[in-house]
């Protein structure tokens, strides 16, 4: 079967294959445990969590067995985003697959940017006890007088995770580029895995066993009060391209491609993450 530029199934498959390559917050903090249960925009997935189990002293007899309780959380697929673009007719020497790939990459990048910012907004759902700095008194990161050095701020966030009994395995943090630069400046020329190997999914290396990701979508207000999230991948995320279709645009020679992308997310364990509110200070030493 030949590939045609007007095949919506091919477009949907190619766009999906590129979506996750630029989804930095997805790579850092999300899991897809319930994604197979979504059907369409407006779908709701009920997630059951088991409550704590009591441990007591044994004195020769056991009290009545504890009944397990459950907590239900609803993941609502309430985000609906469209894409709609045109692939112009071109010289026959150009590969149809090349056109599909180029258009898919552009559509996927735009959609990933939207859902990246959506997951970044979950900083507001993090347990307040795990916060370092506030909108009223943000922590100023830099090397000037009275400013906090970036690695020290990093340690403050990991300490909050430690005090919340968050496991040390598979911790992550997403930083804006200026914070990564400041970390490198503080480390100087010493050996560190925080090098220049930032990949497509934004991973920049590790520090103290914490995976460092870099993103321009770290939530901030007017270029200040950056909300830096750290912790485990405990945001359950689900998405799907529920419809893709091709059409002939009225005023162009080409093929139009449009689709509906739906997604939703839920932070299941607010204590498993920490958030820092940071302002940019003097970054040069």
Cα separation, 199 vs 22, whole angstroms: 9
Between the alpha carbon of residue 232 and those of residues 58, 64, 98, 134, 220, the distances in Å are 35, 35, 38, 22, 21
Cα separation, 99 vs 106, whole angstroms: 11
Task: Collect all residues with Cβ–Cβ distance below 8 Å to 221 and sequence separation of at least 6.
Answer: 135
Per-residue pLDDT of 187-205, as tens digits, reads 874 545 554 444 445 566 8
Angle at 96 (CA atoms; ends 91, 101), nearest 5 degrees: 120
Q: What's the burial of 197, exposed, middle or buried (CB within 10 Å: 0-12/13-18/19+)?
A: exposed
Per-residue pLDDT of 49-97, as tens digits, reads 556 667 777 777 777 776 655 566 677 888 888 888 887 765 434 666 6
Among 143-152, 173-182, 185-194, name the one with the lowest average pLDDT: 185-194
User: For the chain, what is the mean pLDDT?
Assistant: 82
* Neighbour tally for 248: CB within 10 Å: 11
Q: Which CATH architecture has domain 127-234+271-280?
A: 2-Layer Sandwich (3.30)
Query: pTM for the complete prediction?
Result: 0.79
Per-domain boundaries in the chain: 8-51+67-121+235-269, 127-234+271-280
Cα separation, 223 vs 146, whole angstroms: 20
């Amino acid at each position: 079967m030949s590939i045609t530029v007007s095949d919506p199934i091919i477009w949907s498959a190619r766009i999906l294959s590129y979506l996750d390559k630029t989804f930095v917050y997805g790579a850092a903090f999300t899991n897809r445990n319930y994604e197979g249960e979504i059907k369409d925009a407006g779908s709701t997935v009920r997630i059951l969590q088991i409550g704590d189990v009591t441990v007591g002293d044994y004195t020769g007899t056991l009290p009545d067995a504890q009944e397990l309780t459950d907590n239900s959380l609803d993941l609502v697929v309430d985000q609906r985003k469209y894409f709609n673009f045109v692939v112009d007719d071109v010289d026959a020497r150009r590969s149809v697959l090349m056109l599909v790939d180029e258009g898919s990459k552009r559509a996927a990048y735009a959609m990933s940017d939207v859902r990246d910012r959506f997951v970044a907004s979950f900083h507001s759902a993090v347990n307040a006890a795990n916060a370092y700095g506030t909108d009223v008194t943000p922590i100023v990161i830099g090397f000037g007088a009275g400013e906090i050095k970036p690695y020290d701020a990093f340690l403050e966030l990991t300490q909050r995770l430690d005090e919340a009994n968050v496991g040390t395995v598979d911790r992550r943090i997403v930083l804006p580029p200026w914070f990564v630069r400041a970390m490198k400046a503080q480390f100087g020329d010493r050996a560190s895995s925080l090098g220049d190997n930032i990949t497509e999914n934004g991973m920049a290396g590790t520090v103290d066993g914490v995976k460092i990701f870099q993103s321009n979508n770290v939530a901030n207000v007017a270029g200040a009060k950056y909300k830096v999230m750290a912790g485990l991948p405990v945001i359950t995320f689900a998405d799907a391209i529920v419809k893709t279709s091709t059409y002939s645009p009225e005023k162009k020679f080409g093929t139009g491609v449009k689709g509906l992308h739906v997604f939703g997310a839920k932070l299941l364990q607010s204590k498993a993450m920490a958030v820092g509110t940071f302002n940019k200070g003097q970054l040069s030493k």
